[in-house]
Amino acid sequence: MDFNEELERRIIEADAFIRRYLPKEEGPAAAVAEAMNYSVLGGGKRLRPVMLLEMYHICGGADPEVVGPCAAAIEMIHSYSLVHDDLPAMDNDEYRRGRKSTHAMYGEAMGILAGDGLLNYAYETALLSLEKQCTPATARALGILARKAGIGGMVGGQVVDVASEGKQIPMETLEYIHENKTGAMIESALMTGAALAGASEEVLALAEQIGSDVGVAFQIRDDILDVTGDSAVLGKQVGSDEKNEKVTYVTLAGLEGAEAKVEELSRRAMKNVRRLPGDASFLAQLIASLINREK
Amino acid sequence: MDFNEELERRIIEADAFIRRYLPKEEGPAAAVAEAMNYSVLGGGKRLRPVMLLEMYHICGGADPEVVGPCAAAIEMIHSYSLVHDDLPAMDNDEYRRGRKSTHAMYGEAMGILAGDGLLNYAYETALLSLEKQCTPATARALGILARKAGIGGMVGGQVVDVASEGKQIPMETLEYIHENKTGAMIESALMTGAALAGASEEVLALAEQIGSDVGVAFQIRDDILDVTGDSAVLGKQVGSDEKNEKVTYVTLAGLEGAEAKVEELSRRAMKNVRRLPGDASFLAQLIASLINREK
């Protein structure tokens, strides 16, 4: 089986977990469940749950009842962040992945409540892992999941991103945004999967470093593609960052500097992947495909 | 010590836990921590953490490191719900408890992110209870905390409340809103405290019924005071519900019907409090003071 077929299989697997744990659209509050499900089922590569599941298996985990709830939960957290990011007071996006964003579809109040409902439901769901496996390893996994999503992780990155809008920010600030807004949830996926399988502190530290490097490289690739990409392949206009006077890795370090940074992060990530305790060949291919993508 | 002195002491105790677990205002994302702390430290009676702590003690719990994080977490959840409720797309309130609401103080984007940050931080904090006491009882407590805050509890109540605005709703819908928007978090306080102390299913069911009755009676008392209250004592205009054409328990059942319902709920709650396994005299007084209040 080649990598693309294998990836497709993994996405279907992750999607099945997500669908299994989504709320039922019934009862007096059915409308919010509908908006939540609309948000989560709006496409997306299921990158975070695929990584979480893979890392759990690499570290020797084998119980779908333990890993499934956390795999679904991390996608719910990712989805809530997109729903709130799209709100008029934030990025004010009426569309996402070719269809109406949640607040554009259901109204702004419901957009706020659907995001809140999703974030909370993520923890309701993740706690099912604990019911199944009540151990310090699971407690640690849930602690990581929560911390990486919060003000010391993704929310922190969003806050600095919002505060930086339209400003000339230094490299240090841009790196903080990339590491937290994007990197934190990739770190979370790899670390939560590893922790659920009872990984050692050393493996958790490896997972964190890999996640950070991949997340930042992924974002820098985004910045590069906005300059060099083919609009037809990319599916969006090239040059939008320049038009919006947005500070990116490319504006701060130049194209060559950006490519060199991606190369450096990629090399370190791959070296660390080889130090993981199990067969990480799929993870290595997945990371390469993300960092070297053309769209 | 009379009840009011004792209540004051309990509020100070709850406040100390809350302050202990609030985030530090440091690092690149200090601004969001500041907005979160502003929201939580804006007054309030600390009713939910006081109840959680009391129920934990009634059921034989004795470790502040176990109960403290959950006591702080439930107040963070309550606070986030107020921050998001006040947003322009929701109730659009510029003031709360005599000072600017969070979004009015820090801007709308930060209001959304501070609410998100608080909800997430609530779980980061509550999970510290699990680190200290990794048992099925703690897992059950966290599961209750999460479920009662979500779409099957508080968020569900908010959604139906928003959808009912300006409509003639039947009693069934009004009761759903009262039970979920207000009752669920009172249930959560009593049940989470009990569960952390390892209470039996029977005691948890009692705690849930008491919480529901107290929450609903508290809301009906609100409706009654809006008609019969003394504006000077209440600190707000009497008759605002009628002016806003809001459907309340009084408009649906009349003043006598509302008083009779409060009396019925109060009697059942007190009967159930007496069936709790420990000394619940303070809880009984607290409940009476909430249900029979004049402001």
Q: What is the pLDDT of residues B43-73, one digit of tens each?
A: 889 999 999 999 999 999 999 999 999 999 9
In the 8-state DSSP scheme, what is residue A100?
E
Is the per-residue pLDDT at A88 higher than 90? Answer: yes
Q: What is the pLDDT of residues A106-123, one digit of tens each?
A: 999 999 999 999 999 999
Is the per-residue pLDDT at A230 higher than 90? Answer: no
For residues B225-233, average pLDDT: 79
The confidence score (pLDDT) of residue A220 equals 96
Chain A: closest CA distance from residue B186 (Å): 17
For residues B100-107, average pLDDT: 97
Interface membership of B176 toward A (CB under 8 Å): yes
Is the per-residue pLDDT at B241 higher than 80? Answer: no
Interface membership of B147 toward A (CB under 8 Å): yes
- From the list B29, B119, B130, the residue facing A156 with the nearest CB is B29
The confidence score (pLDDT) of residue B30 equals 97
CA B193, CA B72: separation in Å to the nearest integer? Answer: 12
Interchain contact, A90 vs B109, CB within 8 Å: yes
Interface membership of A171 toward B (CB under 8 Å): no
Interface membership of B40 toward A (CB under 8 Å): no
Chain B: closest CA distance from residue A70 (Å): 14
Q: Are B73 and B145 in contact (CB under 8 A)?
A: yes
Interface membership of A76 toward B (CB under 8 Å): no
Interchain contact, B124 vs A112, CB within 8 Å: no
Please report residues of B whose CB lies closer than 8 A to that of A130: 130, 139, 142-143
Q: What is the mean pLDDT of chain B?
A: 95
pLDDT > 90: what percent of chain A? 89
Interface membership of A117 toward B (CB under 8 Å): yes
In the 8-state DSSP scheme, what is residue A95?
E
Total-model pTM: 0.96
Please report residues of B whose CB lies closer than 8 A to that of A150: 117, 120-121, 124
Interface membership of A135 toward B (CB under 8 Å): yes
For residues A31-58, average pLDDT: 96
Chains A, B: CB pairs < 8 Å: 158
- From the list B80, B142, B155, the residue facing A32 with the nearest CB is B155
C-alpha to C-alpha distances, A91 to A11, A83, A106, A111, B30, nearest whole angstrom: 28, 10, 17, 13, 21
C-alpha to C-alpha distances, A148 to A88, A198, A199, B121, B162, nearest whole angstrom: 25, 18, 18, 11, 31
Is the per-residue pLDDT at A96 higher than 70? Answer: yes
Interface membership of A134 toward B (CB under 8 Å): yes
Q: Which of A123, A162, A165, A188 to mutate to test the interface with B (most CBs of B within 10 A)?
A: A123
Interface membership of B76 toward A (CB under 8 Å): no
Is the per-residue pLDDT at B235 higher than 70? Answer: no
Structure token pair of residue A288: 């390469």
Chain A: closest CA distance from residue B194 (Å): 18
Chain B: closest CA distance from residue A224 (Å): 25
Number of domains in chain B: 1
For residues A269-294, average pLDDT: 95
CATH number of the domain bearing residue B71: 1.10.600.10
Interface membership of B152 toward A (CB under 8 Å): yes
Which chain A residue has its CA at the smallest distance from B126's CA? A143
Is the per-residue pLDDT at B110 higher than 70? Answer: yes
Interchain contact, B120 vs A162, CB within 8 Å: no
- All residues at 6 or more sequence positions from A290 whose CB lies less than 8 Å from its CB, including other chains: A47, A214, A217, A218, A221
CA B245, CA B255: separation in Å to the nearest integer? Answer: 16
The confidence score (pLDDT) of residue A240 equals 74
Q: What is the pLDDT of residues B175-222, one digit of tens each?
A: 999 999 999 999 999 999 999 999 999 999 999 999 999 999 999 999
Please report residues of A whose CB lies closer than 8 A to that of B127: 139, 142-143, 146
pLDDT > 90: what percent of chain B? 89
Interchain contact, B143 vs A134, CB within 8 Å: no
Interchain contact, B113 vs A162, CB within 8 Å: yes
Interchain contact, A120 vs B32, CB within 8 Å: no
The confidence score (pLDDT) of residue A170 equals 96
The confidence score (pLDDT) of residue B90 equals 95
CA B123, CA A121: separation in Å to the nearest integer? Answer: 12
Interface membership of B84 toward A (CB under 8 Å): yes
CA B184, CA B178: separation in Å to the nearest integer? Answer: 9
Interface membership of A123 toward B (CB under 8 Å): yes
C-alpha to C-alpha distances, B255 to B115, B137, B226, B289, nearest whole angstrom: 37, 43, 11, 20
Closest by alpha carbon to A47, among A72, A11, A97? A11
Chain A: closest CA distance from residue B130 (Å): 6
Residue A95 CA from chain centroid, whole number: 19
Domain region containing B97: 3-291
Is the per-residue pLDDT at B164 higher than 90? Answer: yes
For chain B, give the secondary structure using H, E and C. CCHHHHHHHHHHHHHHHHHHHCCCCCCCCHHHHHHHHHHHCCCCCCHHHHHHHHHHHHCCCCCHHHHHHHHHHHHHHHHHHHHHHCCCCCCCCCEECCEECHHHHHCHHHHHHHHHHHHHHHHHHHHHHHHHCCCHHHHHHHHHHHHHHCCCCHHHHHHHHHHHCCCCCCHHHHHHHHHHHHHHHHHHHHHHHHHHCCCCHHHHHHHHHHHHHHHHHHHHHHHHHHHHCCHHHHCCCCCHHHHCCCCCHHHHHHHHHHHHHHHHHHHHHHHHHHCCCCCCHHHHHHHHHHHCCCC
Q: How confident is the model at residue B82 (pLDDT cuts 50, 70, 90)?
A: very high
